C-alpha cells in the first residue's frame, strides 16, 4: 500500500520508502517477481509505479526517455514484461545534443494514440498491418486489452531516397494504398531505358514519356492486408537490367456488407454456368492491353447527378445468403432514360445485351484501363467507335440482374476492379 502511494515520487522520499518496503519483505523469498531491485537513484532520477495498461514504450514516451535507457536503468531483460505496481527508475531525460533519439523517432515507425472505441483489429486494418505484427512490435500479450491514450508503434515504410542508376526518382501514391484503390507510379530516368514492373506476381505495364514513364496498379478489393513489394525494372538501351524495389503497404478499405433481395425470376439469372460464360466474355475484353493511354485529364462522372446508391467494394449477399463476393463498381441512382456520358476518351470494345449485366458497354481507355456501363435501357455506341469525354454513350435502365433503374459504373485496371470514384475529378497519372 505504502509503496504504491503516489504515481511519482521524489528521489529522496522514494529512497526511504524503498528501504521500508525492502525491510518489510526482508524475511520473504525474494524470487517472486523478476523485478530487479532499482539501482540507487542518482541525480534527478524519478520513480514511476507501473499502472494497469502501461507499456514500457508508453512510459518511455511520457518521460522523454528511450526504452533502452529504461531497461538499462532498471536491469530489465525483457521489454515486454512489466508488472502493475512495479517501480521503475526513470533516468534523466536526454539532454539536447545527446544521442540516442527518443523511441518515437525510430525509423520506419509512427506512433498512434489509442482513441475510445478502438480495437487492435481496426487499427491494424487501418494501417495495413496484421494484429500479430502490432502485438509483437508493441510487446502486447492480450489483443483485447487496449487503454485509451496508450501509444502504439505502427510500422511504416518510407521510399528509399536514392535509387540505382538509371533511376533518378520514383514516386508511388497513395501510400499506404487501400483495397480497391489505384496505385500511381511515376519514374524519372537519367538515361533512356524501357520500363516494366511487377506487383504481387502481376506484370505492371508502363507508359513511356520523355525521361521516364508511369504505370498504374489496381489493388484488388479483397487483397490481403499487409506489406508488399513493387518491383520497377529499367532496361537501358546500352544493355543490362536494373531493378528498384519499393515497399507498398495495403490497408483495408471502408467496405460495408449489404444483402440484395432478388425475385425468383431474377434469381434464375444467377445460374452458375450462365454467370461463368458471361464473365469469360467480358474478361476476354478487359484483359486486353492497348499500349498507349487514350485519355487525357481527369475522369468525369458518367451521369450529370452524383447519387451513389451502392459503393464500390461493398461485400454482398443475395436473399439473406452468405457473402458471396463484393460490388465491383459504383451504383449511381437515376431515372430510367437518364443520359450516360463517356467519362474520358477511349475506344468502345463491347456494346451489347448481356444476361446478368443487361445493356452493357465496355470502353478501352488504353494501358489496360477499361470502364463498364451496365443495366442500360439503350446503348448509343458501337464496338470500334472512338469516344471523347462527355460524348453521349447510352441511357440508364433496369436490364439484367438489377432491382431498380441505376447505372452500374465499373473501372478495371489490368482486369482488377477498382473504385471509379477515386478517379473522378482527379488527374491520373
Q: Minimum distance between the CB of residue 421 and Zn ion, rounded to whole angstroms?
A: 13
Interacting span for Zn ion (CB under 5 A) from 69-77, 212-220, 408-416, 417-425 = 408-416
Distance from C-alpha of 207 to C-alpha of 291, rounded to nearest angstrom: 7
Query: In terms of Cα–Cα distance, which of 159, 152, 106, 146 is closest to 133?
Result: 152
331 binds Zn ion (CB under 5 A): yes
**Using the rule CB under 5 A, is 419 a contact of Zn ion?**
no
Could you tell me the smallest distance in angstroms from the CB atom of residue 320 to Zn ion? 19
In the complex, minimum distance from the CB of residue 397 to Zn ion, in angstroms, rounded to a whole number: 13
Residues 151-170 that bind Zn ion (CB under 5 A): none
| Angle (deg, nearest 10), helices 56-63 and 67-74 | 100
Q: Which is nearer to Zn ion, 91 or 372 (CB)?
A: 372
Cα 220 to Cα 211: distance, rounded to the nearest angstrom: 30
- The residue among 247 and 397 lying less far from Zn ion, judged by its C-beta, is 397
Site size for Zn ion (CB under 5 A) = 3
The half-sphere exposure of 211 on its side-chain side, counting CA atoms within 13 A, is 5
- Select the span of 141-149, 206-214, 301-309, 403-411 touching Zn ion (CB under 5 A): 403-411
Cβ-based nearer residue to Zn ion, 176 or 394: 394
The pairing of beta strand 257-260 with beta strand 315-318: parallel
Query: 335 — phi, psi (to 5°)?
Result: -65, 150
HSE-up of 219 (CA within 13 Å, CB side)? Answer: 30
Nearer to Zn ion, 247 or 253 (CB): 253
CB of 327 to Zn ion, least distance (A): 6
| Positions 270 through 329 that interact with Zn ion (CB under 5 A) | 329
Window 169 to 208, contacts with Zn ion (CB under 5 A): none
Cβ(18)–Cβ(2) below 8 Å: no
Min dist CB 222 to Zn ion, Å, is: 17
- For 70, phi and psi rounded to 5 degrees? -65, -45
Pairwise CA distance, residues 89 & 70, whole Å: 7
How far, in Å, are 166, 167, 212, 217 from residue 236 at the CA level? Answer: 7, 10, 11, 23
Report the residue from 408, 412, 413, 423 that binds Zn ion according to the rule CB under 5 A: 408
CB of 419 to Zn ion, least distance (A): 12
Which residues contribute to the site for Zn ion (CB under 5 A)?
Answer: 329, 331, 408
Amino acid at each position: 500500500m505504502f509503496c504504491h502511494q503516489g504515481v511519482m515520487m521524489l528521489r529522496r522520499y522514494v529512497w526511504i520508502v524503498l528501504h521500508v518496503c525492502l525491510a518489510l519483505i526482508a524475511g520473504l523469498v525474494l524470487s517472486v517477481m523478476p523485478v530487479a531491485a532499482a539501482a540507487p537513484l542518482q541525480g534527478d532520477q524519478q520513480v514511476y509505479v507501473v499502472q494497469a495498461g502501461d507499456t514500457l514504450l508508453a512510459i518511455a514516451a511520457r518521460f522523454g526517455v528511450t526504452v533502452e535507457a529504461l531497461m538499462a536503468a532498471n536491469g530489465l531483460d525483457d521489454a515486454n514484461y512489466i508488472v502493475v505496481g512495479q517501480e521503475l527508475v526513470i533516468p534523466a531525460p536526454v539532454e539536447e545534443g545527446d544521442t540516442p533519439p527518443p523511441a518515437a523517432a525510430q525509423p520506419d515507425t509512427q506512433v498512434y494514440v489509442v482513441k475510445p472505441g478502438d480495437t487492435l483489429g481496426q487499427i491494424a486494418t487501418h494501417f495495413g498491418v496484421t494484429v500479430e505484427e502490432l502485438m509483437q512490435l508493441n510487446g502486447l500479450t492480450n489483443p483485447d486489452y487496449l487503454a485509451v491514450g496508450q501509444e502504439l508503434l505502427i510500422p511504416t515504410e518510407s521510399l528509399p531516397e536514392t535509387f540505382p542508376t538509371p533511376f533518378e526518382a520514383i514516386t508511388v501514391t497513395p501510400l499506404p494504398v487501400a483495397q480497391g484503390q489505384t496505385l500511381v507510379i511515376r519514374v524519372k530516368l537519367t538515361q533512356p531505358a524501357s520500363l516494366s514492373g511487377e506487383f504481387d506476381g502481376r506484370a505492371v505495364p508502363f507508359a513511356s514519356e520523355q525521361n521516364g514513364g508511369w504505370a498504374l496498379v489496381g489493388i484488388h478489393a479483397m487483397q490481403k492486408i499487409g506489406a508488399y513489394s513493387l518491383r520497377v525494372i529499367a532496361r537501358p538501351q546500352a544493355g543490362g537490367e536494373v531493378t528498384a524495389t519499393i515497399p507498398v503497404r495495403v490497408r483495408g478499405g471502408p467496405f460495408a456488407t449489404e444483402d440484395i433481395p432478388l425475385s425468383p425470376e431474377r434469381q434464375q439469372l444467377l445460374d452458375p454456368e450462365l454467370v461463368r460464360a458471361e464473365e469469360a466474355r467480358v474478361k476476354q475484353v478487359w484483359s486486353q492491353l492497348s499500349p498507349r493511354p487514350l485519355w487525357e485529364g481527369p475522369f468525369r462522372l458518367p451521369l450529370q447527378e452524383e447519387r451513389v446508391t451502392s459503393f464500390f467494394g461493398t461485400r454482398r449477399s443475395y436473399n439473406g445468403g452468405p457473402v458471396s463476393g463484393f460490388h465491383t463498381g459504383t451504383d449511381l441512382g437515376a431515372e430510367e432514360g437518364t443520359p450516360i456520358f463517356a467519362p474520358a476518351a477511349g475506344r468502345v470494345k463491347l456494346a451489347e445485351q448481356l444476361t446478368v449485366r443487361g445493356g452493357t458497354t465496355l470502353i478501352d481507355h488504353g494501358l489496360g484501363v477499361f470502364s463498364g456501363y451496365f443495366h442500360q435501357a439503350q446503348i448509343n455506341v458501337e464496338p470500334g467507335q472512338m469516344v471523347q469525354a462527355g460524348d453521349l454513350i447510352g441511357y440508364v435502365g433496369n436490364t439484367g440482374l438489377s432491382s431498380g433503374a441505376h447505372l452500374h459504373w465499373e473501372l478495371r485496371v489490368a482486369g482488377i476492379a477498382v473504385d471509379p470514384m477515386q478517379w473522378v475529378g482527379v488527374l491520373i497519372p
